[in-house]
């Protein structure tokens, strides 16, 4: 068995914007998956909101994700068959919210990510940057307290990438969300309050409000 993470001990305070950088295979994404409950640690403990997640069932993790966590993926992971607004509405529907509330919230999110004019378009009809905006809107639609962003700029050009990072930063700050960002991009990491560098499954160093990170 290969240990993806070893001796990772850290605390992230509410409202912080923390980035993790490091080479491929260093365990950044695994860390994110563990925090989201998508993967379970073989040992160790993740505490969310002061509550241990050690003995949570799959259904309890689902509930936490539905209420507390929003995730943005590198590959966007929008549902192909749904329009932009339907994708944003999805987590709200999964929570069982009523139609009027959902419509209001979707409108608001579309407005905040600047995609109102593309609301009825399907993912295939949107550019990479536009898809990621919709994905961010979807991740934040239900007002999560924790936003996990896994290489959000990995599949888009640097110009659009800067816009996406600015958007995440702006939305997170205004919403008071805690953000965990995993990225290869120095430019993207600059949006964070501080940056953890990882190598071989371990946290190597922490840089405050970084200006330069070696990602080798």
Partner 1 sequence: MPAFLRVLFLLLTSHVRQWPLRTLLTIIGVALGVSASVAVRTANVDVLRSFEQAVMTVAGPTTLEVSGGETGFDEQIIARLRTIAGVTSVSPVILQTAVRMTGEQVDQAVQVVGLDLLAEFNTRGFRLSQPATESRLMSMIRPEAVFLGAKLATEWNLSVDDQVDLLMGSRRLICRVAGILRNESDRPSSWERMAVMDIAAAQIAFGMVGKLDRIDIVTDEKKTVEDVAQGLRTVLPPHMTVERPANRTRQVEQMVRAFRLNLTVLSWVGLLVGMFLIYNTMAFAVAQRRRQIGIYRAIGMTQSRVAALFLMEAGLFGFLGGIAGSAAGVVLAQELVALLSRTISDLYAPVSAGEGGLLWTGQFWRITLEGIVIGCVVSMLGAVGPSLDASRTATVRALAPGDYEASQQLRVGMLAVMGVSLLVVTGLLSLPGPIGGVPVSGYAATLSLLAGLACLAPICVTRWPRRRQYMGLEGGMHGVMRGIAVEHASRSPGRNGVTVSALMVGLAIMIGVLVMVRSFRHTVELWVTDTVLADLVVAPSMWLRGTEIGGVGRSLPPTWLHVLSSIPEVAAVDSYRDVRVEVNGQRVAVVSRDLRLHAQWSRYLVRKGDSSEQLIRAADTRGLLVSEVLANRLGVEEGSTLEILTPSGPAQFPIVAVFYDYSTDGGKLLMDRALYQSLWHDDLVTVFPVYLSAGASLDPVRERIIEQLSDAVGGGLPPLVISNTELRKEILDIFDRTFLLTYVLEAIAVVIAMLGIVNTLVTSVLERRREFATLRAIGGGSEQIQQLVLWEAAYLGVVGIGLGLIGGGFLSLLLIKVINKQSFGWTIQMIIPVGALVQAVVLAVIATLVAGYFPARWAARQPVVDGLREE
Out of 10, 47, 67, 176, name the contact with partner 1 by CB under 8 A.
67
Q: Report the residue number, 38 or 46, with the smaller CB distance to partner 1.
A: 38
75: its two tokens = 């590959």
CA 190 from centroid of its chain's CA atoms = 16
80 binds partner 1 (CB under 8 A): yes
Report yes or no: 113 and 134 within 8 Å, Cβ to Cβ.
yes
Q: Report the residue number, 37 or 197, with the smaller CB distance to partner 1.
A: 37
For residue 71, the cross-strand partners are 148
Minimum gap (Å) between residue 160 Cβ and partner 1: 19
Reference 133, options 93, 103, 160; nearest CA is: 160
- The Cα 21–Cα 185 span in angstroms is 8
Buried/exposed 13-48: b ≥16 CB within 10 Å, e otherwise? eeeebbbbbbeeebbbbbbbbbbbbeeebeeeebeb
Taken as a whole, the chain contains a residue count of: 216
20 binds partner 1 (CB under 8 A): no
Q: Report the residue number, 130 or 197, with the smaller CB distance to partner 1.
A: 130
Using CB under 8 A as the criterion, what x/- string covers residues 119-158 for binding partner 1? -------------------xx--x----------------
Out of 16, 86, 193, 200, name the contact with partner 1 by CB under 8 A.
86
Residues near partner 1 (CB under 8 A) are 33, 36, 38-39, 58-59, 62, 65-67, 69-71, 73, 77-83, 85-86, 89-91, 93-96, 99, 102-103, 106, 138-139, 142
């Amino acid at each position: 068995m290969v240990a993806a993470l070893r001796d990772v001990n850290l605390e992230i305070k509410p409202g912080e914007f923390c980035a993790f950088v490091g080479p491929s295979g260093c365990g950044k994404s695994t860390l994110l998956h563990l925090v989201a409950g998508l993967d379970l640690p073989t040992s160790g403990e993740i505490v969310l909101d002061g509550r241990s997640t050690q003995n949570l069932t799959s259904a309890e993790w689902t509930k936490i994700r539905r209420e507390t966590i929003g995730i943005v993926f590198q590959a966007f992971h929008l549902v192909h068959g749904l329009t932009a607004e339907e994708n944003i509405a999805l987590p709200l529907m999964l929570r069982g919210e009523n139609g009027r509330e959902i419509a209001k919230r979707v409108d608001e999110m579309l407005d905040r990510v600047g995609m109102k004019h593309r609301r009825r378009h399907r993912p295939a009809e949107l550019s990479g940057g536009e898809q990621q905006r919709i994905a961010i809107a979807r991740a934040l639609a239900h007002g999560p307290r924790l936003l996990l962003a896994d290489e959000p700029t990995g599949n888009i050009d640097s110009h659009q990438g800067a816009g996406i990072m600015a958007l995440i930063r702006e939305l997170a700050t205004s919403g008071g969300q805690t953000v965990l960002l995993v990225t290869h991009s120095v430019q993207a990491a600059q949006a964070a309050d501080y940056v953890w560098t990882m190598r071989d499954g371990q946290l190597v160093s922490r840089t405050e409000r970084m200006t330069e990170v070696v990602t080798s």
